[in-house]
Structure 1
Amino acid sequence: MARLAHNIYAEGGEGLMLTAWNNTSPQAMPTEWIRALSLTAYLSWSPEDCDLGHLAFVPDAIMQGAAYWQRVDSPAGQTRSVAAPPGVTTGAELVKLLGLPASTNASFIATPFRNVRGVAVDVFRHGGQPGAVALTGRDYAVVRNADFSDGLKGWSVAAAGDDTVFEVEGGTLKATRVEGNEFRRVLQDLRLDADRAYTVRYRVRVEGSGNAKVWTYSGDASFRWDEASQVHSRSQEGEWTTKEIEVPPRSAALRICLTVDGPGTTAWFDDIEVVEKGVDPATLAPMTASIPVDATARVLTFMHATSHQPLLADNMRSNRENFANVVPGEYRVHYADGTTEVIPLAYRVNVVACNDPNLGRECDIGLFGTLGGSAFINLPTCTWPNPHPEKTISTIEARSGSSSEMALLVFGIALE
């Protein structure tokens, strides 16, 4: 619908008109419909006479406000912002991370705002200047949900059939071959750096007379697979063991397939990882920052983004796919009783680049707009309901992600 609105505008149309059957209340209309109307209003009545054609994408943030204004859950009780930790990045260094002209004054970051839930987040400051905790990533290939702790999320089942059952059991992938010999498999595609050498490492256990197999296919940057480069590793009946497969040189993409052969055979897979040859794992340890809290909270609101990223102006899908295997970072909420909750970050889910006009589906509008009519900025907020509101949060640990070309920028955190 957003693309339709953009096309109508590009062709000189006057706008969109929304009609709905059996719905007379905006509260009963799907969010996407209200977004379309608000986009039309933006095109028709923007006081700045903005030209949508100058934007790389249809900005979701413009539409989100109208989509949610009927449904705002205002904070229950008082909100307060967390004090800035040591090491906040400010001034010219922060401007560079945001990809803005060197002459930009970063004080705009402290512009007061409230998100769609009515929450205000005070920006971290150092020496009176607004700033952010900046954590630059470390380069490593990311296997999503490598330990199957989140079910099959991040993995796909190819050529599914009743003769082979894939399920997650006790944090492992369990594959049972009932009958037949079709190539049933669970797979995941990863983007690699063709100038680096990699090894696939995994743990496997087998019961029965058949085999557990891990196949790898190498590909180019467009995920076109070279069938001649396929490599497979076979495991027979036995307890847990760790195995490795070398990835062919100059591979820009990798497909990992997990399967089992032999009727009556069951295999378990776990801890799938892709490691770079010759790299000391200690050098891949993330940058971290400990943010003191010492309070209870029902909800946490993060104001954050990643550093400026290269985006393709004419291909929204490619932009999403380019970051599919990049981990922007994560938060670890440490409670006073010694327990921890992890908040994983995913691009265009709960965090986006500061120059990306799109919002992730779990993001809300924070600071969004243009600077001086030339530079664009998007610093959204993300709401996290605390599963343990009765516990005291001692610290929030922010951790960097999986790319040295991307830094996690944390501008502030509000508690309610």
Structure 2
Amino acid sequence: MQNFDIIIIGGGAAGFFTAINAAEINPNLKIAIFERGKEVLTKVKVSGGGRCNVTHAEFLPKELSTNYPRGEKELLGPFHSFMTGDTMEWFENRGIQLKIEDDGRIFPVSDDSQSVIDCFLQETQRLNIQVLKSHAVQAFQKEKDFWEIKTSKGDFSAEKMMLATGSNPKIWNMLKNLGHKIIEPVPSLFTFNIKDEKIKDLPGVATEAEVKINSKKVSLESKGPLLITHWGMSGPGILKLSAWGARDLEKLNYQFEIKVNWLPGNTSEEILIRLKDLKTKLAKQQVLKNAQFDLPKRLWRNLIVAAGITDGTPWADLNKNQLQNLSAQLTEAVFKVNGKSTFKEEFVTAGGVDLKEVNFKTFESKLHKNLFLAGEILNIDAITGGFNFQNAWTGGFLAAKAMSEY
């Protein structure tokens, strides 16, 4: 049996970050990362469309924590110890220049996730951390003061063990056997499947919008960029709703209605007044031909048709009913959602180890000494925009500190 000081199970963002920081704090430690697959850091590779959205430009712990539908309260303390500014400094100290985009997302200047992966791999080599691929963990148990770990490639032991396996049901089951409570997982980031004439033939059209879930059982709304896709709707405005509504929407079997306001900040009454004004100002112009309110032309056209206004109709000919219909289509268009699609490859779940069973000063299990947990294995998830990675970096850093210091 091979012995280590620290064994980290899971070769993803949280696992690598923990290993590197632990080795830096205490270079004498013998550390190994076990990865069940043939490749490590696969989620880092595809995140942010292959650019790796490392974190988000939110620099106050309280504000940062509000982006976590599950974990908001628990992460507030940890964010006072390690958060966005620390993450940026960490990467920049290792030669990765970062940039903040207009929407607050932070990416490597290279726009390539491979630069983050290369950084991690170089650091593990420099610090003599063993990265053992194709080592699927089959069982682990505590024997006296050591964790004994059985893998597909042999048996190992370590004084301290960290689980950073994301939403891996097998590992969750092993933790259940150790007495941990697992909150059943449901998808957290997903797009809405919608078939509707109003958005037919509009994939690729993006605009700011307010979206409200139109259900007696669920009261949620969000504002942000909305992207029309071949399947329905996506973009930050929709993904925020999917994250906050993860459990409620699953109970509705992903069958519900949404109301979309294509002119955020405006009510239907306010828009009706502006439409009456346009009726006078643009009397001879055709309604369909000239998009108003800075809306994408194709979307404007479809909303005009949905309001019952035919091609060729001039503004002057719009009756009271048509003006009201158009105002409603612009500010409270109703869409029926029928199912969901996974958001790209960035599959995120709500669910995992019950947060009451974790000490958030160290990310150590309250049930088992020298068992640490970080990343998505915990019942923590965030909206899209780099927040899930920030959870991994913060948890990994604090766990590394605790594991290497005592």
Q: TM-score, normalised by structure 2?
A: 0.24
Higher percent of residues as strand: 1
Higher percent of residues as helix: 2
Higher relative contact order (CA 8 A, sep 6+): 2
Q: TM-score, normalised by structure 1?
A: 0.24
